[in-house]
Amino acid sequence: MIRFECDYTEGAHERILKRLLETNDEQTPGYGVDDHCEKARAYIKEACDSPNADVHFLVGGTQTNTTVISSILRPHQGVVAAVSGHVAVHETGAIEATGHKILTLPSGDGKIRAEQVQDLYDAHWNDAAPEHSVQPGMVYISQPTENGTIYSKSELEALSRVCRECGLPLFIDGARLGYGLVAEDSDVSLADIAKLCDVFYIGGTKIGALMGEAVVILNGTLKKDFRYMIKQKGGLLAKGRMLGIQFETLFEDGLYVEISKHAIDMAMLLQNGLSEQGFSFQYRSTTNQQFPILPDRILKALSEKYTYSFWEKVDDAHSAVRFCTSWATKKENVELLIQDIKALR
């Protein structure tokens, strides 16, 4: 079986595993205060052009979203997100389990607009009795989104401006951030991200690491006591060095960006291969998730040899599906997939 159903089907980048072996006998203190974590922090702060940022390493995405969001909100506040946001649909109510409602905004492409946030904010505060409903307390977006789309710099600036005017911290879920940074049409750098939001994270799990997400807190008022929150939410890894070593490797000389680019190359190869065959796509994704609309007949045949994610029925005979590439995707597999689809037409 050749797997395209997600971007975490392989282990880790080989350089990471080798580094783990090399450092295996070192003795370090636990819980993320070792030298590897410190070096990784320094590299990340430099990459973000944010010397005053706080950088923390957590294990997974749901955990990271839960920890960040619950550390920011007061009990009567909720987090604003796209109706298709990961926190809204694919985290088994992890945010609600910490007591907070997700205030969803409609979205066709996974993005939300500055105007939507402003309108929701105004609607709340113009209500005659706002205390009967959940107060918007922060905004959550993903870059790239669940649909593979990316925010442009001007879109992020507009969101950032509204958030700051409304006093709503802006949190960017970067589980696939690398893929967003290097997309061909991206005009957003890591430093831009750091400048425009209050807190974000750099995903390792889907880009080269065994696991791990690096939270970068820019807003000083959100920094306080964050390690307590990580511990309480189960994210303070005893052998914190495992995360430090991985991010050290990914950020010491640009490996993170380099391997992200490979995923995008593979995604574009696939996109072009299918476009040329006349297939259309559910979303205009320029990142590593591609959502072609294919005949159910072809999909059925493909499923004997390939894995992909079913996305949604488009009509009686067609479905949108998701193919993911990653840092580890082999070019020959993409080419084979394109050929096989062609042969099935």
Which residue, 285 or 329, is less far from a copy of itself as judged by CB?
Answer: 329
Q: How far is CA 222 from CA 43, 54, 171, 262, 271, in A?
A: 21, 10, 11, 35, 40
- Give yes or no for a cis peptide into 75 (omega within 30° of 0): no
The number of angstroms, rounded, from the C-alpha of 5 to the middle of its chain's C-alpha atoms is 16
CB atoms closer than 10 angstroms to residue 300 = 11
Site for a copy of itself in 35-54 (CB under 8 A): none
Residue 20 sits in the site that holds a copy of itself (CB under 8 A): yes
State in angstroms the smallest separation of the CB of 164 from a copy of itself: 19
Residue 300 sits in the site that holds a copy of itself (CB under 8 A): no
How far is it, in rounded angstroms, from Cα 108 to Cα 110?
Answer: 6
Site for a copy of itself in 46-105 (CB under 8 A): 59-64, 66-67, 70-71, 74-76, 78, 89-94, 96-102
What token pair was written down for 336?
């084979």
Q: Is 312 helix (H, G, I), strand (E, B) or coil?
A: strand
Q: Which of 166, 210, 293, 338 binds a copy of itself (CB under 8 A)?
A: 210
Site for a copy of itself in 137-196 (CB under 8 A): none
Which residue shows structure tokens 């061909």?
184
What token pair was written down for 57?
């390493």
Mark 318-337 with x for binding to a copy of itself (rule: CB under 8 A) and - for no binding.
----------x---------
Q: Is 114 helix (H, G, I), strand (E, B) or coil?
A: helix
Which residue, 156 or 324, is less far from a copy of itself as judged by CB?
Answer: 324
State in angstroms the smallest separation of the CB of 14 from a copy of itself: 7
Residue 343 sits in the site that holds a copy of itself (CB under 8 A): no
Q: Determine the interface stretch with a copy of itself among 147-155, 182-190, 203-211, 258-266 (rule: CB under 8 A).
A: 203-211
Residue 219 sits in the site that holds a copy of itself (CB under 8 A): no
How far is it, in rounded angstroms, from Cα 323 to Cα 341?
Answer: 13
Q: Which of 131, 315, 316, 332 binds a copy of itself (CB under 8 A)?
A: 131
